[in-house]
Amino acid sequence: MLKLEFIRAKWSSKMKLPKVYLAGHYYEKEYRRYVVKKYSSYFKLILPIDIDYKKYPTLVVSHDKKQLRRCDIVVVFLRKPTFGTIMEIMYAYMKKKPVYFVNPNQKYINDIWIKSHVKRSFLNLDECFQFLIEKYTKKQNNMKKNGGKGEAKRGK
């Protein structure tokens, strides 16, 4: 089994943490608790609203869409598809948010609709967040080296 080693991001007070929306089924609360506990020092984690979605459906949808607009990155954890999660993927995609897909049971990893609307798929959360830490730490460090003006140019 692959042992992942995590790189601690060295964020200065001037660097803001990337905002990550944690999409997935309403009842997937354990995955969100795990991510918050393990990765909140690397990212500002945004959670869907936690109220009775059957009693307040309009509030839930409008709140979650607002949160999707606010975020920089979307991580989708999906064991079993639901209309809400699939709509979150599509909405984020249409808003040009990078969507990363985690499918631990591998049932939907090759679905053409999923593959067409996500940047990358993963089999577990740690693999996904290791990738995001490396990607966004490098991006922040390049911006710092370049005076906050985007990524540093690469030499040939």
- Give the Cβ contact number of residue 1 at 10 Å: 3
Phi, psi for 126 (deg, rounded to 5)? -65, -40
pLDDT at 14: 55
Helices of type H across the chain: 29-39, 57-70, 83-94, 112-117, 125-145
pLDDT per residue as tens digits for the range 145-154: 555 555 444 3
* pLDDT of res. 9: 40
pLDDT in tens, 50-81: 888 889 999 999 999 999 999 999 999 999 99
CA–CA distances in Å: residue 6 to residues 39, 110, 128, 142 = 10, 27, 11, 19
What's the fold here for domain 19-145? Rossmann fold (3.40.50)
Domain edges within the chain:
19-145
Give 17-54 pLDDT, tens digit per residue.
Answer: 999 999 999 899 999 999 999 999 999 999 998 888 88
The share of the chain scoring above pLDDT 70, in percent, equals 78
Structure tokens at 121: 């798929």
